[in-house]
Structure 1
Amino acid sequence: MIESKKRWRLERPDEQTVQHLKEALNLPTVSAKLLASRGFSDINKTKAFLNMDDSSMHDPFLMHDMDKAVARIKKAIADEEMILVYGDYDADGVTSTTVMMSALQQLNAHVTFAIPNRFVDGYGPSERLFKEAFEDGVSLIITVDNGISGLNEIQMAKDLGMDVIVTDHHEAGEILPPADAIIHPRHPQGSYPFGELAGVGVAFKVAHALLGEAPKELLELVAIGTVADLVSLHDENRYFVQAGIKQMRISKRPAIKALCQIAGTEQDQINEETIGFLFGPRINALGRLADAGPGVEMFLTDDAIEAASLAKVLDTHNKERQGIVSQMTEEAIAMVESGELGKDPLVIVVAKEGWNPGVVGIVASRLVEKYYRPTIVLGMDPEKGIAKGSARSIEGFHLYNELAKNRDILPHFGGHPMAAGMTLPLEKVGDLRSRLQQQANEALTEEDLQPIQQIDISINLEEIDLTTIESLKQLGPFGMDFPKPMYCIENVNIASMRKIGANQNHVKMELADGPLTLDAVGFSKGHLADEMTPGVAVSFIGDLQINEWNGRKKPQFMIEDAKTDEWQLYDIRGIRQVNRWNQMIQPDTALYLAFHQSTVQHFQSLLNVDITLISEGQSLPNPKSYIVLLDIPQQEQLLETVLTHVQPKRIYAHFYAPESTYFEGMPSRDHFKWYYGFLAKRPSFDLQQHAKELAKHKGWSESTLFFMTEVFFDLGFVKINNGRIDLQETATKRDLAESTVYKMREQQMQLEQKLLYAPYMELRQWFDARLVEQTVPEEEQVWI
């Protein structure tokens, strides 16, 4: 058995719906399956989803207060007032600021921008920066990607005489800020058709309303902020990202070209993964470690040299950020593992002085990935007496709502159901930890704490070809609420397998289903090569890609996880170096079994584990998932009894045999006849003294002589006294097969032939015949 890393939840779409989509839209089977599994059934809606255009955008004036905002901004432009665009320090905030700045500059507004410093001002509106703006002559502040939670700061700006327009997409509290206009897709008094815009999407809607038409040249910025902020890729967001990526591939904006250069990617190959894994982290790194302003400057500039220089700044900060994240993650894991947070906490809250508040969100994500618990990571500042950090959550624990229950100790927080940022007094960290633990006790079930891997569809090898994989690109872009597909290939065999990579930590396989084969690669999955055995049907989940090498293209499956419910036989017979086979066994899940005391003595120091000696009439040990058979029993039934009792999921067969009776063979009747005649000619024979000489004379082994002597003794033919053998003159004639010693040797030879020297598949069949079929209890099955 190979257990999957997560619980697989496999969707099985309605076959009629699949066929309907396939025929009506001329789609490959895999594409139709994928759409059906994600809830598509209506042909017109599916067609609109696959073929988005300008009509996918909603009228910006459907947003609450948009008319007020546009009127106030246009008045400021007409009166030549100074306008401040007040942004945020992440990629969404940087692109939001750029979009708003670009629109206002097109209208010849007197405009500047400010982005708070994460370490000085924290998240959201800052009294310090608002005061500076007032002193600089600003009379209108437009917030982008923030502001909805800045009640006190916006009130202060109003008291100073400035007007404030808030454009934001974060969760609104029960009390809204006293702004002159609030542009929010989920405004409690509004009815905008789509509520999941990113901050940059909201800024774009304002720009659209101001300019009278959608500024499509800004869609590339909207795509970056939308993907980086992990908002839902449905409705307008899907159009923004789809159109923005197309524009980026041909963009002349120096910033886009500079980002491609610094990230080592081709501009015409940009996709949502380029944004999410290459562009987004570099833009975010600025605000995580320093001032995010250069990011806006990079996007606004028309100078290629300046853009390239600023892109290098982003890249340098990103490399520094990666090192800091690694160190902080190690320190946070050490805290959890030490038990100082309690035994198996339902919510992880870690805090430490000196932790960089700019990367705590990344560290929180790493901890959620490792422990699958809602996690808060805080950097402590003793001088200011505050702890500042970020949180990430799991399904079933609405982070914003749970944090909102602690407003009395959380003076500053904001975010979403799955992510949040906060600042609180140092002395309240312990209170927050204990409160959230109690809230989690009430909110989370055992099922919530078990990570689930959603799998879109099951596919057959016959459905996979280059055309199918190419057509799947039509379904993109993929992201939040429309994730990259996860496919399952069920119950296939492994035609070949080998470890690859400098450290042999990756695996390459050829999956087979009858005559059909498919290449598969698992990065950081080298351990699977040690866990998979021949003849076992295995199920895999992962992604479909096209592998191009030397001009040839082939379908390739990228392995994410694997499992099989079949028991596994690991053939470690003949491997003398114990470390070679023992390193792939987890001692706490395995029973090390021996049937001979000499075997226990041999392996005790080599293995450094408890070895259970199995003998007739002895009570059997408590079952474990795996068993290691160190040697061969004298009786087949004893091993059968162990297998029936334990019902192992894995069997490691070593079968140590220092002296093999099978290869030594059974002496023939002529051997016994000659030896008996030899003894009969002598009144007495000293076997101890002359065994070597006699064996050499006959070309036998000494052990053969001793065995035949034992048979004679067992049958009463001889007496043995201090190594001397004397015939029993009164012995009656008996057949050799009547000897227990003779029978045991026959049995041992047969057992060695079945277990020690049989080919792998014959050995597996022997075990198969003796293992009761194992099934997964209904309540544990997660296939749906």
Structure 2
Amino acid sequence: MKPVVIRRRPASTRSDWPVELHPLVARVYAARGIAAHEAGPQRLADLLTPAVLGGVEQACDLLADAIVRDLRICIVGDFDADGATGTAVAVRGLRLLGARDVCYRVPNRMVDGYGLGVGLVDALADIRPDLVVTVDNGIASHAGIAAARARGMRVIVTDHHLPGPTLPPADAIVNPNAVALAACAHASPPCAGCADAGARASALAGVGVMFYLLLALRARLYPGESRARPDLASLLDLVALGTVADLVPLDANNRILVAAGLHRIRNGRASAGVAALYRSAGRDPRRAVAADLGYALGPRINAAGRLEDMSLGIECLLSDDADAALALAERLSAINAERRELQAAMVEQGEAMLARFVERWDEASLPCGIVLHEPDWHPGVVGLVASKLKERLNRPVVAFARADESGVELRGSARSIAGFHLRDALADVDAAHPGLIGRFGGHAIAAGLSLPAANLAAFAAEFDAAARRRLDPGQLERYLWSDGELHPHEFTADNARALRYAAPWGQAFPEPAFDNVFAVASWRAVGEKHLHMQLRPVQGGDALEAILFDALAAMPPPARVRALYQLDLNDWNGRERLQLLVRHIEPA
């Protein structure tokens, strides 16, 4: 494969930062285009208002009526972490706001497929809900919503995925990517400021859309600043978890939501389920950061939906009993361990397929858009395979598995790179070749689809053609971004601590990484795949402890290396010390 290139972000000479802002944090913020007014403390008071979401008024009408009349409300969630947290937020939030008959259902990935399908609506007949509220799904569920309404159910769709050519026949739709702001308090049509805010709301995850609907409903039911208003801030740890786990961009608004949730976790006010997940993952909630949510808690919730039943994850998040929540969290950890083993085997198979292709045809012949399929792959894990291979190849990848034992239909998950909008590309293929794809949906960086197994080769050719049209060779270059080099006096635990807690780092707001040339003072293998080193900056200074996880080759590193790294804190026996978390290493 082509070598990885380290690119440095342009340096900034701005000086309008708040005086209390740490200078290294200011440098990193500047490289990410953060405005001075966004660099201060993240305050809930600075959130976009719920009014920027189109459809909230109609949805609030339906929910308020259901609460007053004591109707049965059923939340229909999704089988990923965003859907699970969104379901828990909906159930908890509606109960806080006075709803007494709230239940939930989640489609089974293997049986029902994604969203509010007709089969799931048939299953709801047993509980006969008056009002169905989707969370993180529904915008593509035309048939299911029509079936629900035919049975006398009203339907509210809350979602953030991109719509198709037409909207489903729901009674209300709250989706910042589908329904524009209809009016604002200043003008009709909306004034420029409110219209811009509505556009910025498009980065909300499904759980964020649901939280915003609850804020609007609370304002409807409890006007003014009454002391009786329920405290919806108690839901923010769940909002933070779903937002980070779903990999939506951490723009200014999402950073406020995530920062507020992390603040609750660090201060011991997390829900029993989130606290249990931290304990089961061996993480310290007092040092909570967004990476915990993305790499430790989120995968545990997702594992339930991938391999078993997402109700396990939702029940963990709904539990108020610490012991019961911990028992569920331990089950989720066990399922996640099984998922990791399965994923590793599937990724190895995918890499072997690509290696055989390169060996036969050479690397230059690799498709721009890669499509992979193995008959024995698990449909709940193909998205992770696509993600891993996308990272290593820097090309959009679709991985398919059999939808059922017959193998007649395939179910796929796609992951993309910057500059290639997955859902738009799939829409192009579908428009040019009707019937080639079955159902599909998603957004820019992730999508799901189904198709007849007989269409796989034709789809692979068309997906590659779409990638070639939309991507230029430069976008396929494998590169990593650096915030520049650090001077010897900047290698301190205080700097690492300042960066760690400066902001919630995540999608579209990456954690700071730096690059320097080092002399390798010593090295040793740790475990089977990790490399521990002592690195001495060539500018001078003491040797620094460094760790490179999942090092691919058990051979001595060169005497002089260029390393891309993050400043990290190694907590051992209650003492924090500086450690370089190496992300990439090459000879210098």
The interval holding the TM-score normalised by the smaller chain is 0.7 to 0.9
3-state SS in 2 of match to 1:171: coil
Match of 1:319?
Answer: 337
8 Å CA contact retained: 2:520, 2:558: no
List aligned pairs for 1:106-185, cutoff 5 A. Answer: 106=96, 107-185=98-176
Match of 2:235?
Answer: 218
User: Within 2, Cα distance between the matches of 1:336 and 1:10?
Assistant: 30
Match of 2:88?
Answer: 98
List aligned pairs for 1:342-381, cutoff 5 A. Answer: 343-380=365-402, 381=404
User: Within 2, Cα distance between the matches of 1:542 and 1:164?
Assistant: 49
Shift, 1:364, TM fit: 0.9
Match of 2:43?
Answer: 53
3-state SS in 2 of match to 1:420: strand
CA RMSD of aligned residues (A): 2.5
8 Å CA contact retained: 1:325, 1:362: yes
User: Within 2, Cα distance between the matches of 1:502 and 1:99?
Assistant: 40
8 Å CA contact retained: 1:518, 1:555: no
Match of 2:462?
Answer: 435
User: Within 1, Cα distance between the matches of 2:524 and 2:112?
Assistant: 51
List aligned pairs for 1:264-283, cutoff 5 A. Answer: 264-283=282-301
8 Å CA contact retained: 2:289, 2:500: no
Cα pair distance change 1:454/1:161, threshold 3 Å: same
List aligned pairs for 1:638-657, cutoff 5 A. Answer: none
Structure 2 residue corresponding to 1:297, chosen from 295, 298, 315: 315
Cα pair distance change 1:406/1:220, threshold 3 Å: same
Which is worse superposed, 215-224 or 493-502? Answer: 493-502
1:526-565 alpha-carbon deviations (Å, 9 max, x no partner): 96974524xx6x5322101234557765433222223456
Structure 1 residue corresponding to 2:19, chosen from 18, 22, 25: 25
**TM-score of the superposed pair, with normalisation by structure 1:** 0.66
Structure 2 residue corresponding to 1:541, chosen from 564, 580, 583: 564
8 Å CA contact retained: 1:401, 1:417: yes
Structure 1 residue corresponding to 2:180, chosen from 189, 213, 216: 189
8 Å CA contact retained: 1:511, 1:520: no
Match of 1:532?
Answer: 558
User: Within 2, Cα distance between the matches of 1:301 and 1:84?
Assistant: 18
Identity score, percent: 32
User: Within 2, Cα distance between the matches of 1:454 and 1:369?
Assistant: 14
**TM-score of the superposed pair, with normalisation by structure 2:** 0.88
Match of 1:201?
Answer: 208
Larger Rg: 1
8 Å CA contact retained: 1:497, 1:529: no
Shift, 1:148, TM fit: 0.8
3-state SS in 2 of match to 1:189: coil
Give the residue type in structure 1 aligned to 2:208: G
Q: Which runs of 5+ in 1 are unaligned?
A: 566-784
Shift, 1:62, TM fit: 2.6
Matched, 1:451 2:445: no
User: Within 2, Cα distance between the matches of 1:559 and 1:549?
Assistant: 19
User: Within 2, Cα distance between the matches of 1:25 and 1:424?
Assistant: 57
Shift, 1:252, TM fit: 5.7
3-state SS in 1 of match to 2:203: coil
Shift, 1:502, TM fit: 4.9
Cα pair distance change 1:404/1:217, threshold 3 Å: same
8 Å CA contact retained: 2:238, 2:274: no
Match of 2:349?
Answer: 331
Match of 2:408?
Answer: 385
User: Within 2, Cα distance between the matches of 1:443 and 1:4?
Assistant: 21
User: Within 1, Cα distance between the matches of 2:53 and 2:19?
Assistant: 34
Shift, 1:344, TM fit: 1.7
Cα pair distance change 1:5/1:312, threshold 3 Å: same
Which is worse superposed, 49-58 or 353-362? Answer: 49-58
Give the residue type in structure 1 aligned to 2:380: G
Matched, 1:496 2:521: yes
Shift, 1:248, TM fit: 1.8
Cα pair distance change 1:269/1:174, threshold 3 Å: same
> Higher relative contact order at CA 8 Å, sep ≥6: structure 1 or structure 2?
2
Match of 1:258?
Answer: 276
User: Within 1, Cα distance between the matches of 2:529 and 2:67?
Assistant: 64
Match of 1:12?
Answer: 10
1:380-419 alpha-carbon deviations (Å, 9 max, x no partner): 2352621012011122321111111233222211111111
Cα pair distance change 1:299/1:474, threshold 3 Å: closer
Which is worse superposed, 56-65 or 66-75? Answer: 56-65
Give the residue type in structure 1 aligned to 2:277: L
Q: Which runs of 5+ in 2 are unaligned?
A: 182-194, 220-228
8 Å CA contact retained: 1:38, 1:456: no
3-state SS in 1 of match to 2:380: coil
